[in-house]
Structure 1
Amino acid sequence: MNASIPDNNAKNDPGSEKLSIGEYGPRVSELTELLSACRDLSDILNPEELYAIFVGIIKHKFKVHRLGLFVYDPETETFSLVFSDGLGKLEYKFKIDMQDLWQTILQDEPFAVVDDSGNPLFTKFLEKQDLEILPSELWVPLVMRGEVMGLLTLGSKAGDQPFDDFELYFLQQITAQAAVSINTCRLYERRRQEKEDLDKTLQNLSLLYGIGKAMNYISDLKKLLQYILKQAIDIASAEKGSLMLYDIESDRLKIRVLAGLVDTAYQDRVNNNEIKCRSFKPGEGIAGRVFLNSQPMIVNNIRDDSLFIKSETSFVRSIACIPMVVYNDVIGVINVTNKKNGKEFNDQDIKMLKAVADQAAVAVNKAQLWDMAVTDSLTGLYVRRYFMVKLQEEIHRAERYHKQISVIMTDLDRFKYINDSYGHDAGDRALKAISQFLIKNIRDVDAIARYGGEEFVMLIPDADKEEAFRLAERLREELGKVKLDNLPPITMSLGIATYPTDCKDMEELINKADAAMYAAKQAGRNISVKYSEHIQIVRDKDGSAMADDSV
């Protein structure tokens, strides 16, 4: 083993040697090889490709058994092994904490790390940095304009032959080019990342503009919440998320919508309010803390944060929580979880999510106020007044496009018995359950309202009387299968009328559906009746339509 470096004052300049005529040919060939190698390295912009080709050139040229390429990070002052041959899959990292060794590296010349007997020259340093197992005899610095880029470590050559002057010159020149190429790769990657960040920022700004416009046109609260959450997940490059709203009556944060779950069936049931997720008190968990403090929060490793409330089904690695604030009041929290591609949430994510949350809070607040105005507080169905507005709009549309629309009037049979026998709380629970059943079993284009007490009315666009009757019968039959807590089965009577077959205006349509429903009551209850001319409409004392008892 011999890694000694020939002593000469020409810094390994092969031009200082006197060559015979027979030696010029091989030397020209080697210089041509060096020029070609340098040219190959100068064209590479991918770091991994650069490392592989550079190490391959060295191995092919010098038949070295073991070698390693370290790249220097000036921020951490650390050399990291990025490519190796013959060292196995080892992860080496070390710092140069010896001033004389660092100065040796800055000389930008190959230097031996073992003596002629193979004993280490920097024993204390190698022991301290745990580099004794790194089999190397020669280190070659990669330096560009006084800035260290890396370090090449070489084991022994084939036959344990020492490096001659021209080989050292070759090493010095090829590593100098490698240093330049590494710096070029870094600059290219930095510019590429800057461009990517700029493109991402422009894309997000455009997205924010689109979000703001879209929110102005979504009045349905559930659809608005789903839209907001989807945009938040996309803008933060997250896998999934949830949106919580504060419920003042229970003093809790409640999950209103989920997105991105693998189990879409479960997600849909939560979004349809069929499953109640865990709620949080202000200050409880990460979301509760964000709500209480009105400040965003990032946790990139939930295992290290005691605030995170673990769940066997959450599968959360990292989370970013943003409060939704309107008029200095926090109305909810947006949670996005698991940054994609193993990355971490950062301040830029918070900045963009906050912009989404600020717009969302205003839109949600408006939607909540609208929701309170048009929906029944107990059942969540439309109120009668808003239903009539929608019905009038549908009649105008039916007139314009020559369509039919049907109305189904529904009344729960003997519901007074439920209230009297089981209490009004039980009656309220039954109304809620039946309302959710009806919502779930009609189309999105249909509309349903609480018409009064235990009476409901449904608007079925683009449906003739037979289609509406089939729907009414299906609802009637399926309601009998709905299990109500500690209550007997509840049935309902339904009446169907169709525009323009049965009537000429909205009031007449409602009256005839109502009369058909009363006819169903008089026929024994728990049936569906289509309006016909044989059903005579009479007026009750309050002016509401009823079927003539004589029918």
Structure 2
Amino acid sequence: MILTLVTAVVAALIIIYLLHRPPKKEFVYPKEISIRNFIEEASRILATRSYLLYRIGENGITLETNQGCPKPDFQPQLDGLSHEEERYLKKNGFRTMAKVAFRGERLGYLVVFPVKNPDLDRFQGFVQSYTPLLVEKIKTEEKILEASLINELNIKLGTTEDPESFYRNLVTVARRILTQGRIIPAEVRGKDLIFYLLRRKEIRIPIVDLPDEIMSQVIVGQKTVEITTIPEPFKKNLPIHHAHSGLLVPLTTGKRTLGILFYYKRGKEIEPKERTILGFISNQAMIILDKMFAMKNLNRSIQDIIALQKSAQALLVIPKFEEIIDQILKEASRIIGFQRIILSFYNPETNCLDRVGSIGFEPEEWERIRKISPPFFRINNLLKEEYRISNSYYLKHNCCEIAEVKDFLVRREKPAGYPEELPSGLWHPNDILLIPIRTGDGKFLGLISADSPLDGQVPDISRLQVFETFATLLGLSFENAEAFKKLRRLVDKLRSLYNITAPISSVGEFEKVLNRILNLTKENFGYNNISILLKDDEKDELYVKVAVGDYLVDPSQIRLKIGRDGVCGMVAQEGKPKLIQNTLNIPFFIGDRDRPRSEIAIPLRSHDRLIGVLNVEKEGANSLDEEDLTLLSILAGHISVAIENAILYEEIGRLSITDELTGVFNYRHLLDVIKYEIERSRRFQHSFSLIMLDIDNFKKFNDQYGHLFGDQILSALAKLLASSVRASDIVTRYGGDEFVIVLPETTKEQALILAERLRNIVNQHTFEKNVHLTVSMGLASYPIDSQDVFPLIDRVDHLLYISKSKGGNAVSS
């Protein structure tokens, strides 16, 4: 009887021990997460050395490695077994096929193990625990690939010198970045959009054929527009027959649209990430296009100046102006790019304008026009501020019904179906441009009227300034030498400005680039102080980001209240540039009030949003003028785009270390942080700790409420953890429902207190749908538990497993 009782007690104790002992770990994690290490460990578990490795890519599933398997005569399926696969197994004496797929957004692997006597339970356990780690690494590799392609884009675009090569290089690299869709760039050339394809000649689509919403929003409004229906002109002319949705991104400089990027997909919506990358690409493209056109305009300006100089010399050498009118007008037509020009001079005896020369008219037509002498009093009704651009007057066709305009306009027939309104920058057949001819003191001498530009574009400020310079030379030939000195100074400044802005497309070491730009600007233009102030949105203040010069106080300590402090504060509030000729006359000026200075402040804007102010000071009253304001406005535009570009670059960097679902750091960043803390703790003889936790019975929530609610729970838990730890602690998502918290300079005893506090916080928190959670935690410390990265992670993972085996809602250390 006693022997039977003792036997029963011993048997009971053995059963209790077997039920409650920690289960033996059935597999080990490779120190480095990789597909090769996965195959090695999986082969050990399945007791086989044979496998098939397939790569999942844009072109489908392709075999990459066949290790010891009979030649496969089937195309593998990601899930389940096809008839061909079953036939292959039976033919070669295998019992089954163990398969697992690891997939990112564009990369992936499929591993197939044909086996005879597999231990599938152990294999599935290993796969479930290893999959999140390998998928995370694949996504990281994708982001690294994406970053390298963007860098390649910058290099390729930066080395092109003509628009056609620029757009074709853009297509080549952009298609490798945006793999789920296709991109076609187009250049605005005259009244057409010129689309560039890789293997075809350019395709021309008239802008007037575009739907009104695209013309008004993209070309005119310079806004990015998503389309769900492909426009008919695109379907008809472009090879996009299977496209369902698209994005039109304008490429602009100032108020002028240089081109568009047309990105389209098949049957899918445009994703936020694609919008971000397209924004980055378009900003880079605009910077380089701006420089390309600036250089083109600079070369053209130099040629124009040479031509103007020849014209001026002719005016000085030949005493009778009438003898060279035809020659001057031909040169003017070539310089300013207009087909039809009329030159009129004021006749004080008749108080009318006499037409003395023209180009672009038939003899009979010109004879009729020449006989019309418009009265001088009507000029004031035309030269109104509302029509003024620079020192010229641009009258659009819809204001050309008034009698005064009819005296100057020679109407032309419009093509059938021609729209009444065209995109900003395009010339209507019945528009007209008037350029007054004045003396140095502003006395009116005559008028040049022009229409029919060769490129179909409304001339920009730089072209108008050349035209106005020509008009000035006509009226002020005796001041020729002075006029050309000014023009040469302008060319030198434009050349200097181009050299200054050359490095601005670089996104690395952004503050150093800005410092270099400001120093070059100060040296080339003789300014005393120049600074870039950025807006602090939270405090509604401006702070100095970069400054060069002699300031009375440390610029880094300067904070200006918007709308209250100084010239910059006022400019930030009003959003308009200011030219102050004498700062001593400005009561709200902040700075040296002992000596007179001139100051220019220009708002820096990005997509109609104020981001800062460019500020320049120069000693002496009236030392800055409108020419400085124009040049600095061009520089401010480059700086604004560069700042936005840097922000986008930082955002891409942030995305590469952030978990997309929860917003906390990802596994890649966790490894970097642990490596850094090990090195720092070893150097300074400190401790640091890791807490690994996961949600108890998380599968129950997924089964009861669905995976979407499960994702919401993970995101909410991540926010709760991030708000509950110290500022120095780092919360990361390890994978699945597991999180790891890095506690710098924290001993195990201190970490245990924090872990218990976190466990209680989670216990007491009420999540959505009145859900309450518990979490299990493992806690390991450096150097007590381990002194290397992966062994330390392995230790804290093991301790978490112990907490789970105790029933959860516990901390094991």
TM-score, normalising length: structure 2: 0.25
Larger radius of gyration: 1
Structure with more relative contact order (C-alpha pairs < 8 Å, separation 6 or more): 1
